[in-house]
């Protein structure tokens, strides 16, 4: 689906050559991946590894074995949600670089509420913890959202600052007031495995993936088939034009950023309810920058998020399995994602070019 | 220890620990004045830090280490500037990419070169001005106690400030961020000016990252910048992109960060994690108090399409 509909073959100024059809976007993304593989391969050769061994190994371990594929899908779940969070803000022209902090607060809220509800039934626990995660992530973006919407204080800086506040605050809470005193390590009470997300069949993949895909579909409809979604996209394309169209720009900006934070909170809730079962001090998954790589690999198309999330899920599991399989340190995959982001940025493509000469 | 001695020690520590951050923040202020929002500082600092640590360990020369760090910063700055202008790359995406690649790349290289070892540097740059300022109570010894590169860093800040506000090139640089069309209309080359600004910024990040490794810490480890690159962006904005003001704010931030140690010495019972979040909260509050109504360069973060693209 095109983010910017092109009517009667005429190109508006917001379009960028090459990005106006889904096929062109797909080709661009594939080209970017190929370029990133070439650059990363060169680095591997310099470091004394054989890329013709490393990359086939990566595909074999992650995609060609059922155990690997299951792990890839497990890692795709939070990435898809984090990508959605970044994308919804991006559609409004906002940069939510605070996804990591919102994930932490969402996870902490889910772990605490989940810990209270261990005596309730499973659906109640899931709903309560997830609701807490959404609220936690949303609350964590309220201050940056209000500052951005009403005082034009750059959300990039405030969301980053809230990341660091979240890291320290969650560590302080888990080591202090919220600590489960019966456990040795500083963490919240453990949610027993039988109360966590159920697996799909006999696999390691859990129902969180189903929830994430459902949220993804709902968000696609919301963005492209609802008035609110149209308003968000209009504000992102041109705040001034949106204001002339009587769209309450301030409200839309604030709501988009808070919604983005709520979605990021879901990422944390999913991690707690599926793989973690608790919130440990100093836990820092760091999905934020990967989510940016994901959104730009998807060329900001909401429907392309799922395949892009699968690709990054593959890299995420590769970072876990490749140190043992091929002696490649996990940091190599962060390097690869970074190169991919640089390549994607270097393609001529400027969706967030401001026409109004705004605050940035 | 007397109260005065503790104060002196805290101030001396603040001057040292805020110095790499100050270089990065001032570099960012200069780049932003030209219209380039660079979020790749963290990655640039890590690359420069690794390079300088590696060379210093090899040659035993801190000077050489600092210089290679600056060279690495310069190279990354040139790449950033070129991609952001010639290819019109989106600056935020590009910057985040540089940070991700730099973080991952240096961690990868560190393990490739040193395995699971953590080598340390012995000694550090000398302290040539020891005892020179003792006539000034409390602050004097804290200044005199600094290693020589701290003075170089402050000289760079001063030079950067004067360059920006007093020289024709500085005026061109500011014009590239404020009114790129105007700059082109009077015969300036926006692309070259911005690449130059990115390069100057890169040198500052490079020296900052190198100084963090070989002057302040005495070692390099993956991720040892611990977010300094992002803090620099916030501090640049807090100081309204004026190098001197940015430097003073960074110093104040350093004092605020050092206060948690001071509070612990004074016997205040608070968890270190709680105290650690105060400086960041302070920056947010500062942004609201000082940042409201402050105008950033008009073309900040925007690619420049040339005068023909103007409607």
Tell me, yes or no, whether A254 lies in a domain.
yes
Q: Look over chain B and give the mean of its residue pLDDT values, rounded to a whole number.
A: 89
Q: Across the interface, do A349 and B43 touch by the CB < 8 Å criterion?
A: no
C-alpha pair distances (Å), A303 with each of A28, A84, A220 = 16, 10, 7
CATH number of residue B213's parent domain: 1.10.3470
Mean pLDDT across A131-150: 94
Domain that holds residue A246: 22-346
Mean pLDDT across A292-321: 93
Tell me, yes or no, whether A14 lies in a domain.
no
Q: Taking each helix axis as running N to C, give the angle between helix A122-151 and helix A155-175, from 0 to 180 degrees, rounded to the nearest 10.
A: 140
pLDDT at A87 over 70: yes
Tell me, yes or no, whether B311 lies in a domain.
no
pLDDT at B310: 58
Tell me, yes or no, whether A16 lies in a domain.
no
Residues paired with A206 in a beta bridge:
A199
Question: pLDDT by residue (tens digit) across A2-26?
Answer: 344 333 333 344 444 434 577 888 8
Tell me, yes or no, whether B309 lies in a domain.
no
CATH number of residue A175's parent domain: 1.10.3470
Q: How far apart are CA A162 and CA A169, in angstroms?
A: 10
Q: What is the distance in angstroms between the CA of the first residue and the CA of the last residue of chain A?
A: 29
C-alpha pair distances (Å), A114 with each of A75, A125, A155, A177, B175 = 22, 6, 31, 16, 55
How many independent structural domains does chain B possess?
A: 1
Provide the Cα torsion B208, B212, B215, B218; round to 10°.
-160
How close does chain A come to B43, measured CA to CA in Å?
10
Taking CB atoms and an 8 Å cutoff, what residues of chain B touch A312?
none
Tell me, yes or no, whether B308 lies in a domain.
no
Q: Output A94 or A151, whichever has higher pLDDT.
A: A94
pLDDT at A110 over 70: yes
Window 137-166 of A: residues touching B by CB (8 A cutoff) are 143, 147, 151, 153-154, 156-158, 160-165
Local structure of A187: helix, strand or coil: strand
Please report, rounded to a whole number, the percentage of residues in chain B having pLDDT higher than 70. 96
Q: Across the interface, do B227 and A143 touch by the CB < 8 Å criterion?
A: no
Q: How far apart are CA A77 and CA A213, in angstroms?
A: 8
How many independent structural domains does chain A possess?
A: 1
Window 196-255 of A: residues touching B by CB (8 A cutoff) are none
Question: pLDDT by residue (tens digit) across A219-250?
Answer: 999 999 999 999 999 999 888 899 999 999 99
Domain that holds residue B291: 3-119+126-303
How close does chain B come to A167, measured CA to CA in Å?
8
Taking CB atoms and an 8 Å cutoff, what residues of chain B touch A171?
273
Q: How far apart are CA B119 and CA B308, in angstroms?
A: 55
Q: Across the interface, do A350 and B90 touch by the CB < 8 Å criterion?
A: yes
Tell me, yes or no, whether A15 lies in a domain.
no
Structure tokens at A53: 């061994």
Q: Output B136 or B119, whichever has higher pLDDT.
A: B119
Provide the sign of the torsion angle of the four alpha carbons A201, A205, A211, A217, taken in this order: negative
> Which residue, among B101, B238, B295, would best test binding to A if mutated, counting the most A CBs under 10 Å from its CB?
B101
Taking CB atoms and an 8 Å cutoff, what residues of chain B touch A351?
90
Tell me which range, B81-90, B125-134, B289-298, is most confidently predicted by mean pLDDT: B81-90
Tell me, yes or no, whether B310 lies in a domain.
no
Q: Across the interface, do B105 and A43 touch by the CB < 8 Å criterion?
A: yes
Tell me, yes or no, whether A222 lies in a domain.
yes
Tell me, yes or no, whether A283 lies in a domain.
yes
By the CB < 8 Å criterion, does A352 face chain B?
A: yes
Surface-to-core class of residue B187, CB atoms within 10 Å of its CB (0-12 exposed, 13-18 middle, 19+ buried): exposed
Least reliable range by pLDDT among A194-198, A351-355, B305-309? A351-355
């Amino acid at each position: 689906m095109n983010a910017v509909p092109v009517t009667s073959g005429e190109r508006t100024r917001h379009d960028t050559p090459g990005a106006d059809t889904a096929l062109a976007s797909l080709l661009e993304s594939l080209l970017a991946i190929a370029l990133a593989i070439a650059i990363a391969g060169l680095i591997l050769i310099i470091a004394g590894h054989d890329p013709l061994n490393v990359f086939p190994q990566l595909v074999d371990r992650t995609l060609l074995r059922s155990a690997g594929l299951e792990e890839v899908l497990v890692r795709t779940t939070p990435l898809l949600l984090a990508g959605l969070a970044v994308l919804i803000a991006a559609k409004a022209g906002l940069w939510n670089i605070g996804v990591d902090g919102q994930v932490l607060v969402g996870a902490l809220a889910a772990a605490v509420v989940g810990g209270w509800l261990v005596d309730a039934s499973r659906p109640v626990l899931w709903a309560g913890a997830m609701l807490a995660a959404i609220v936690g992530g949303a609350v964590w973006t309220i201050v940056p959202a209000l500052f951005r919407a009403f005082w034009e204080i750059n959300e990039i800086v405030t969301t980053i600052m809230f990341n660091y506040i979240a890291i320290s605050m969650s560590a302080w809470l888990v080591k202090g007031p919220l600590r489960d005193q019966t456990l040795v390590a500083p963490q919240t009470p453990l949610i027993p495995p039988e109360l966590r997300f159920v697996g799909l069949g006999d696999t390691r993949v859990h129902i969180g993936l189903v929830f994430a895909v459902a949220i993804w579909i709902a968000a696609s409809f919301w963005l492209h088939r609802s008035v609110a979604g149209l308003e968000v996209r209009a504000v992102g394309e041109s705040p001034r034009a949106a204001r002339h169209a009587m769209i309450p720009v301030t409200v839309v900006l604030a709501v988009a950023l808070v919604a983005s934070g709520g979605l990021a909170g879901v990422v944390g809730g999913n991690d707690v309810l599926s793989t973690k079962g608790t919130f440990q001090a100093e836990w820092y998954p760091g999905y934020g920058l990967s989510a940016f790589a994901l959104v730009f690999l998807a060329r900001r198309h909401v429907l392309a998020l799922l395949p892009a999330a699968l690709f990054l899920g593959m890299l995420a599991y590769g970072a876990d399995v490749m140190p043992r399989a091929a002696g490649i340190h996990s940091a190599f995959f962060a390097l690869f994602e970074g190169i991919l982001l640089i390549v994607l940025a270097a393609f001529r493509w400027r969706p967030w070019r401001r026409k109004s000469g705004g605050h940035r | 220890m007397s109260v005065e001695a503790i104060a002196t020690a805290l101030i001396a520590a603040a001057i040292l620990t805020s110095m790499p951050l100050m270089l990065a923040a001032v570099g960012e202020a200069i780049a932003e004045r030209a219209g380039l929002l660079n979020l790749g500082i963290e990655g640039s600092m890590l690359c420069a830090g690794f390079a300088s640590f590696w060379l210093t360990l090899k040659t035993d020369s801190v000077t050489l280490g600092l210089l290679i760090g600056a060279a690495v910063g310069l190279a990354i700055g040139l790449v950033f500037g070129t991609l952001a202008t010639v290819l019109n790359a989106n600056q935020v995406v590009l910057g985040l990419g540089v940070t991700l690649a730099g973080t991952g790349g240096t961690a990868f290289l560190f393990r490739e070169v040193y395995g699971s070892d953590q080598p340390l540097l012995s000694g550090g740059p000398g302290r040539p001005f020891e005892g020179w300022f003792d006539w000034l109570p409390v602050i004097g010894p804290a200044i005199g106690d600094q290693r020589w590169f701290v003075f170089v860093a402050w000289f760079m800040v001063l030079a950067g400030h004067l360059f920006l506000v007093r020289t024709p090139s500085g005026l061109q640089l500011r014009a590239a961020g404020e009114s790129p069309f105007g700059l082109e209309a009077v015969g300036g080359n926006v692309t070259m000016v911005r690449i130059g600004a990115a390069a100057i910024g890169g040198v500052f990040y490079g020296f900052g990252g190198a100084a963090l490794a070989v002057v302040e810490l005495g070692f390099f480890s993956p991720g040892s910048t611990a977010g300094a690159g992002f803090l620099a962006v916030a501090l640049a904005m807090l100081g309204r992109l004026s190098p001197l003001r940015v430097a003073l704010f960074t110093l104040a931030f350093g004092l605020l960060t050092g206060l948690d140690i001071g509070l612990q010495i004074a016997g205040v019972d608070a968890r270190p994690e709680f105290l650690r979040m105060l400086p960041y909260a302070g920056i947010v509050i500062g942004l609201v108090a000082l940042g409201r109504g402050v105008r950033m360069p008009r073309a900040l973060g925007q690619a420049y399409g040339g005068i023909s693209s103007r409607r």
